[in-house]
């Protein structure tokens, strides 16, 4: 028994180390090569920094891709779309967890199925529909698609959390004459603060890092998100050089890394114990 336990523990530790190394090596190479200057870049991957031109590369990327407006756009999209999606998901999660009915499983799978289909499947109809309705290259258009794509997984988080709330709270509130809206706003929402925070942060990170819809449904600098602007910088590969592209990628990734590190405990406490 002890031998099996130790063998299993050693195997798990080895797998964790291998996965950590596989994740760390590409990240390390990105950081190291972002430090190198364009003049010193030879076309080969550097394993150790040869220059200290990171801030110079970031400045070049900022000017070449005009990252200022796109950073503000991504901040706006991530905050507004994330907040509205979590609110809609909380309402839907309350409906399928607290309100009795024979269709709760059906509604769960119907809403959650939106997180199961690849985004590429929606690109052609979305592009055609946006072009015909005037939503193409507009903030409203990006808001709509970001909210729609953020709802399913946020709903999954909120529904699972609300299932853990004791049903006696709901029953006692209704015996006192409270309606569904009162039960939701005065009891379920205050008890779901950690799940709301986790869902919002998760969607903030997703919207910030999203590229596919950004480059498909927008093109102007006043509308496009930051990842689309960074993709435009990469298309000018021969002009700015790979170190500048890597430095720009590191710079625009900092907000999501900081948010995740600050709120990782919220993720762990809210995403555990998922139910289907």
* CATH code, 231: 1.10.3720.10
Residue 276 located in a structural domain: no
Regarding whether 241 and 153 lie in a shared domain, the answer is: yes
Domain extent for 113: 57-271
pLDDT tens per residue across span 169-195:
777 877 777 778 888 888 888 888 888
Average pLDDT over residues 44-72: 79
Average pLDDT over residues 30-35: 77
Regarding whether 98 and 17 lie in a shared domain, the answer is: no
Contact between residue 212 and residue 64 where contact means Cβ atoms under 8 Å apart: no
Output the pLDDT for position 276. 47
Confidence category of residue 273, pLDDT binned at 50, 70, 90: very low
Question: Domains in the chain: how many in total?
Answer: 2
Buried b (16+ CB within 10 A) or exposed e, 84-118: bbbbbbbebbbbbbbeeeeeeeeebeebbebeeee
Regarding whether 83 and 18 lie in a shared domain, the answer is: no
Output the pLDDT for position 1. 46
Residue 221 located in a structural domain: yes
Contact between residue 211 and residue 231 where contact means Cβ atoms under 8 Å apart: yes
Regarding whether 124 and 79 lie in a shared domain, the answer is: yes
**Which of helix, strand or coil describes residue 217?**
coil
Output the pLDDT for position 87. 93
Compute the Cα dihedral for 128, 134, 137, 139 and give only its sign. Answer: negative
Regarding whether 167 and 121 lie in a shared domain, the answer is: yes
Regarding whether 96 and 38 lie in a shared domain, the answer is: no
Residue 128 located in a structural domain: yes
Final residue belonging to a domain, choices 39, 54, 69:
54
Regarding whether 169 and 42 lie in a shared domain, the answer is: no
Average pLDDT over residues 3-11: 67
* pLDDT of 119 strictly over 80: no
Output the pLDDT for position 274. 46
């Amino acid at each position: 028994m002890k031998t099996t336990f130790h063998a299993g523990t050693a195997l798990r530790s080895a797998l964790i180390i291998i996965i950590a190394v596989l994740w760390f090596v590409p990240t390390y190479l990105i950081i190291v090569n972002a430090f190198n200057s364009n003049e010193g870049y030879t076309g080969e991957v550097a394993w150790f920094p040869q220059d200290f031109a990171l801030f110079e590369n970031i400045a070049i990327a900022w000017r070449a891709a005009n990252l200022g407006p796109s950073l503000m756009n991504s901040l706006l999209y991530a905050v507004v779309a994330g907040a509205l999606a979590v609110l809609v998901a909380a309402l839907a999660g309350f409906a399928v967890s607290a309100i009795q009915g024979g269709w709760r499983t059906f509604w769960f799978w119907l809403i959650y199925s939106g997180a199961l289909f690849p985004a590429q499947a929606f690109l052609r109809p979305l592009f055609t529909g946006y072009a015909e309705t005037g939503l193409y290259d507009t903030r409203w258009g990006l808001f709509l698609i970001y909210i729609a794509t953020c709802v399913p997984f946020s709903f999954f988080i909120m529904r699972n959390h609300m299932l853990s709330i004791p049903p006696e709270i709901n029953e006692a509130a209704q015996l006192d004459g409270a309606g569904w809206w009162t039960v939701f706003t005065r009891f379920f929402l205050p008890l779901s603060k950690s799940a709301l925070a986790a869902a919002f942060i998760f969607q903030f990170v997703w919207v910030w890092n999203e590229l596919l819809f950004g480059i498909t449904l927008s093109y102007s600098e006043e509308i496009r998100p930051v990842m689309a602007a960074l993709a435009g910088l990469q298309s000018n590969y021969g002009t700015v050089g790979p170190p500048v592209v890597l430095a720009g990628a590191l710079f625009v990734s900092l907000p999501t890394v900081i948010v995740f590190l600050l709120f990782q405990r919220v993720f762990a406490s809210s995403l555990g114990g998922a139910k289907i």
